A = this chain, B = another copy of it.
Amino acid sequence: MIALFDSGIGGLTVLKPVLKRLPQYDYLYLGDSARSPYGSRSEETICRFAEEAVEYLFSRGAKLIIFACNTASSVALRHVQQKYLKGAKEKDRKILGVLIPVAEEAVKHTKSGRVGVVGTKATISSQAYDTEIHKLNPEIKVYSAACPLLVPFIEEGWHTRLEAISILRKYLKPLKSCNIDTLILGCTHYPMMQKQFERYVGGKVKVFGTGEVVAEKLASYLERHPEIEKKLSRAPRAPAKDAPAKESQGKRLFLTTDDPARFKAFAEKYLGMKMKTPEKINLN
């Protein structure tokens, strides 16, 4: 199955477009809500949490793990890839992050060669977006800003209040004079404030988050890697004679390290779907 891992609920902004684009596969979503947010923690701690999640998800049969979390992708992805994907027996396992697809999209879009990135402290200080963008085009200028208080506001449901907008403006002010034409929302929570970001940077700046880009790139990745695609569990194909126009839907399983009821209430509302009570697990 395909597993998505996030520090909490933010990764649902990735899961939603992925489910829409590729509904036929079985999905496992793991939110480490007991230890969220990751964005203000040290690199060492984020790597340890990511290792625990990867080991757990492999033990549950995941073949493809997506870090649906910019902080974990920025800080821990390379580390876990090196640790868990080196042996011959891990050949059929993959761990992907969200940064490369988003960096590719930004490079494709920018005309001015000036790209903005907002994210958690850990994401911004890792300079992982800068690195990925410069691999594609070293001429592009990257301007970044950490926005640590936005996640608490979003988790609290207070992100459309004046105080949240005022704080967003303070964070973005240094980017305002940089003539960017592209702004990467480098935290999976931020699409929940997409409108507020767009309003502040103005209509000429393209603002995009992680979700849709990752969904599209995942579809193309699976087309290019049939050896991975074949191993993914999925909804049984309908017999040819009754074949519906659209493929049927795979299973969805949700895991959380904290209160399942709280997770369920948020996830059902955000995803617009009913789900069984998520499974409560411990990662350590």
Interface residues of A (CB under 8 A from B): 33-35, 40-42, 44-45, 48, 148-149, 152-153, 155-156, 158, 162-163, 166-167, 257-259, 262, 282, 284
Contacts and interface: CB of A to CB of B under 8 A. Distances in A.
Nearest to A48: B282
Contact of A166 (B148, B155, B163, B282): B163
Given A167-B163, A259-B45, A155 B34 contact: no
A167 B258 CA distance: 27
Given A33-B41, A40-B155, 4 more contacts: A35-B35, A42-B258, A44-B259, A148-B152
Nearest to A35: B35
26 contacts: A33-B41, A34-B35, A34-B41, A34-B42, A34-B45, A35-B35, A40-B155, A41-B258, A41-B259, A42-B258, A42-B259, A42-B262, A44-B259, A45-B257, A45-B258, A45-B259, A48-B282, A148-B152, A148-B156, A149-B152, A149-B153, A149-B156, A162-B166, A163-B163, A163-B167, A284-B284
A212 B91 CA distance: 59
A77 B153 CA distance: 29
A97 B258 CA distance: 24
A121 to B, nearest CB: 10
The 5 closest A-B pairs by CB, nearest first: A284-B284, A42-B259, A152-B152, A163-B163, A34-B45
Contacts of A35: 34-35
Contacts of A40: 155
A262 B163 CA distance: 27
A279 to B, nearest CB: 14
Contacts of A162: 166
A232 to B, nearest CB: 32
Contacts of A282: 48
A40 B34 CA distance: 9
A267 B155 CA distance: 28
Nearest to A155: B40
Nearest to A38: B34
Contacts of A259: 41-42, 44-45
A259 B152 CA distance: 21
Contacts of A257: 45
A181 to B, nearest CB: 29
A261 to B, nearest CB: 9
A158 B149 contact: yes
A276 to B, nearest CB: 18
A34 B282 CA distance: 15
A284 to B, nearest CB: 4
A27 to B, nearest CB: 24
